[in-house]
Amino acid sequence: MDHNSPNVFVYLVDDEFAVRDALALLIKASGWSVKSFDCAQDFLNNYYHEFPGCLILDVKMPVMGGLELQEELIKRNIKIPIIFISGNADIPDSAKAFRAGAVDFLEKPFEKSILLERIDEAVQKDIKARQQLLEKASIQDCFNRLTTREKEVLQLIVNSHSNKEAAKILDVSPRTIDAHRARVMDKMQAENVAALVTMVMSHELLSQTFAPREVQ
């Protein structure tokens, strides 16, 4: 997904028309699609959460300032990367912004090239985060298709039990464990056991169901 993609948006919120206009022209000239607003509420009313992008946000604005908008986005579980800009911010403002997840805090006047670099980084961060969410949802969907017994077998695979040990724990034949393992690998779309274990551990899938069972 590049600058020219119609489905990537750079949002700009600044109550000063001159600043907003100049930045919008700069960003458009670099190939990004820009949506600019003079207040936080207008942005909230017009944000397309389906598409990746980033938010360039002025700190000091009437009614709802940049930091307040950041808090509101967190409440709404909107995770768009934010680049703050400010002409008169203090250190506590920038510290608060970073603690709440801002990707950068630029003091006016700033180099145009630095802003454009930060926009590129922020958009790539958002695209990557969205891809990870899709991947997680897909893996969770695969996991949800496992039967209770298949989840038990998966648990034993993750705990490095052999087929023989797993058969003993579950009081079934090793051949039955073989069949369950094959179905687990198929449903989880795992290329091999190592990939399966990595998938389960990185997404904490088994913590959702039950504690590990061990050989008695």
Tell me: do 49 and 93 sit in the same domain: yes
Tell me: do 164 and 202 sit in the same domain: yes
- CATH number of the domain enclosing 190: 1.10.10.10
Distance CA 116, CA 170 (A): 59
In a domain, 107, yes or no: yes
- Is the model more confident about 73 or about 1? 73
Tell me: do 25 and 126 sit in the same domain: yes
Distance CA 54, CA 119 (A): 7
Q: Name the phi and psi angles at 57, rounded to 5.
A: -130, 125
Q: Identify which of 198, 90, 49, 91 has the alpha carbon closest to the alpha carbon of residue 135.
A: 198
| Portion of the chain with pLDDT greater than 90, in percent | 72
The DSSP letter of residue 189 is: T
Tell me: do 72 and 93 sit in the same domain: yes
**pLDDT, position 2:** 54
How many residues belong to the chain? 216
- pLDDT band at residue 143 using 50, 70 and 90 as cut-offs: very high
Domain extent at residue 190:
145-208
**pLDDT, position 155:** 92
Tell me: do 117 and 20 sit in the same domain: yes
In a domain, 92, yes or no: yes
- H or E segment to which residue 95 belongs: helix 91-99
* Count of domains observed in the chain: 2
Tell me the pLDDT of the chain averaged across its residues.
Answer: 89
Tell me: do 173 and 100 sit in the same domain: no
Which of 91, 108, 132 is the endpoint of a domain?
132
Which of 111, 132, 153 is the endpoint of a domain?
132
**pLDDT, position 88:** 74
Which tokens hold the place of 11?
């949002």
In a domain, 4, yes or no: no
Tell me: do 125 and 155 sit in the same domain: no
**pLDDT, position 215:** 41
Tell me: do 38 and 117 sit in the same domain: yes
Tell me: do 17 and 50 sit in the same domain: yes
In a domain, 52, yes or no: yes
| Portion of the chain with pLDDT greater than 70, in percent | 93
In a domain, 1, yes or no: no
Between the alpha carbon of residue 7 and those of residues 18, 22, 49, 82, 172, the distances in Å are 27, 23, 11, 18, 53
What is the average per-residue pLDDT within 187-206?
90
**pLDDT, position 212:** 45
* From 62-71, 96-105, 125-134, 173-182, the region with the lowest mean pLDDT: 96-105
In a domain, 214, yes or no: no
Tell me: do 13 and 118 sit in the same domain: yes
**pLDDT, position 3:** 57
Which of 88, 103, 132 is the endpoint of a domain?
132
* From 15-24, 150-159, 199-208, the region with the lowest mean pLDDT: 199-208
Q: Identify which of 117, 119, 183, 128 has the alpha carbon closest to the alpha carbon of residue 153.
A: 183
- pLDDT band at residue 211 using 50, 70 and 90 as cut-offs: very low
